[in-house]
Amino acid sequence: MTQLANLTAMEVDALTDPDGGLNLTDGHARLPLSAQQAGIVARIPEMFAAASRRPFPEIEAEAHTAFLRAVGQHRAPIGTGRILSCYSSTLATDIVARALPRGSRIAVLHPTFDNIADLFRTRGLDLVPLPEEALLAAEWPAPPVRAVVVTHPNNPTGLVTPEGHLRSLAEHAARHGQIVIVDASFRGQVRDAQYDTYAVLDDAGADWICIEDTGKLWPTHELKIGLLAYSERSTLPIHRAFSESLLSASPVVLQLVAALARDWTDGGYERARATIDRNRATVAAAVAAAGLRLADPASQISVARMELPVDGPDSGELYEDLVTRGVHVLPCAPFHWADPEDGERFVRLSLARPPATVEHAARALAESYTHLSSRAVAPVA
């Protein structure tokens, strides 16, 4: 097995490639602005002016309302002081990790993006995996597990936690004094994931934390916010951990988010969905020529995994060969943070890219896989 860096390090390598290689690593939206989005971005100078004259709480509440309503979260605790605006969902996750008692045992969905596990481990928490299969079977961890972390929808598989399963987890957690932590960073991309999570958790009597993210939806070059919301039952020092990290998110970015969220409910979602669906079909067709297939054909999030046959090159070899071809994707071993070998046979491509870029990268992946496979079986002279 090839030793790999963490996923974010590989994403940084792609972003800073001095040769300008194709970056299909991170799940952030890197698409051209739609006409409607371009019109909103053109109003940023007005948002700067408004940030100087409008009260921050008013701007923040407007952004929370617009965004959370756009993704179906009508029972989110807007206006209660229990939704904190962060620069990113990663920062929100780190704040949660610092607020949890050091040494606590935490169950984390497996596989999922590795920085979730990394942040919790760095803050001195004891992690155990919650396999997707266990989630779908509603097999919930018992104490001494203190908190259960679910990514909804999951990255990289696209798995949506069904509403009934979340209710079952929340009721289990309420009985056992556990915290349910939901990372909903990709929620805005998938209608099926937009049932009211806050209503489910509150009605079950659970102690909960939810993390939301705007960076996966709109091509705003890191002008984004992560929302950290928590239940009325929480006794964790979340505000203290927040205050140790930042003062506030930008009121300009909050206004931008509010405007883009309103566009999302006015046709923006459908326009983005059409591009992602087109790109997924393009990838499936291109890699089929090399005998490869999508690992998660029902996934609706803006990434796609390819499954690699066991008798061919693994994802680390494919990743390294693609870099030499000027194409950056993600090998999936790091997503399997508790058992990296389980992810060796998968690679992940971002679909939130211009269609021509995705087509080029998918063809390069097929060519690279074919080349590596033929080299592996070539007779020795």
Q: Which of 242, 262, 282 is the last residue of a domain?
A: 262
Tell me: do 102 and 120 sit in the same domain. yes
Q: Is residue 378 part of a domain?
A: no
What are the tens digits of pLDDT across the range 346-379?
Answer: 999 999 999 999 999 999 999 999 999 988 655 5
Per-residue pLDDT of the chain (381 residues), as tens digits, is 445 689 999 999 999 999 889 999 999 999 999 999 999 999 999 999 999 999 999 999 999 999 999 999 999 999 999 999 999 999 999 999 999 999 999 999 999 999 999 999 999 999 999 999 999 999 999 999 999 999 999 999 999 999 999 999 999 999 999 999 999 999 999 999 999 999 999 999 999 999 999 999 999 999 999 999 999 999 999 999 999 999 999 999 999 999 999 999 999 999 999 999 999 999 999 999 999 999 999 999 999 999 999 999 999 999 999 999 999 999 999 999 999 999 999 999 999 999 999 999 999 999 999 999 988 655 555
Q: Which of 202, 232, 262 is the last residue of a domain?
A: 262
Q: Is residue 379 part of a domain?
A: no
Q: Is residue 98 part of a domain?
A: yes
Token pair of 222 as six digits: 């890191």
Tell me: do 315 and 252 sit in the same domain. no
Residue 303's domain comprises 7-33+267-372
Model pLDDT, residue 129: 98
Model pLDDT, residue 1: 45
Tell me: do 115 and 225 sit in the same domain. yes
Tell me: do 65 and 152 sit in the same domain. yes
Tell me: do 314 and 341 sit in the same domain. yes
Model pLDDT, residue 3: 57
Nearest alpha-carbon partner for 189 in 90, 306, 274, 305: 274
d(CA 315, CA 331): 5
Q: Is residue 377 part of a domain?
A: no
Q: Is residue 380 part of a domain?
A: no
Q: Is residue 381 part of a domain?
A: no
What are the tens digits of pLDDT across the range 67-86?
Answer: 999 999 999 999 999 999 99
Residues 6+ apart with CB under 8 A from 347: 305, 306, 308, 315, 318, 319, 329, 330, 331, 332, 365
Domain count, the chain: 2
Tell me: do 163 and 199 sit in the same domain. yes
Tell me: do 249 and 283 sit in the same domain. no
Q: Which of 262, 284, 315 is the last residue of a domain?
A: 262
Tell me: do 97 and 231 sit in the same domain. yes
Tell me: do 74 and 202 sit in the same domain. yes
Tell me: do 313 and 342 sit in the same domain. yes
Q: Where are the alpha helices (DSSP H) in the chain?
A: 7-15, 35-41, 44-53, 56-70, 89-99, 114-122, 132-136, 163-176, 197-203, 238-243, 251-263, 269-288, 315-324, 355-377
Identify the CATH number of the domain in which residue 60 sits.
3.40.640.10
The answer to whether the beta carbons of residues 219 and 33 sit under 8 Å apart is yes
The answer to whether the beta carbons of residues 130 and 107 sit under 8 Å apart is yes
Q: Is residue 1 part of a domain?
A: no
Identify the CATH number of the domain in which residue 365 sits.
3.90.1150.10
Token pair of 293 as six digits: 């297939």
Q: Is residue 147 part of a domain?
A: yes
Tell me: do 79 and 100 sit in the same domain. yes
Tell me: do 223 and 89 sit in the same domain. yes
Helix/strand/coil percent split, the chain, to 5? 45, 15, 40
Residues 6+ apart with CB under 8 A from 324: none
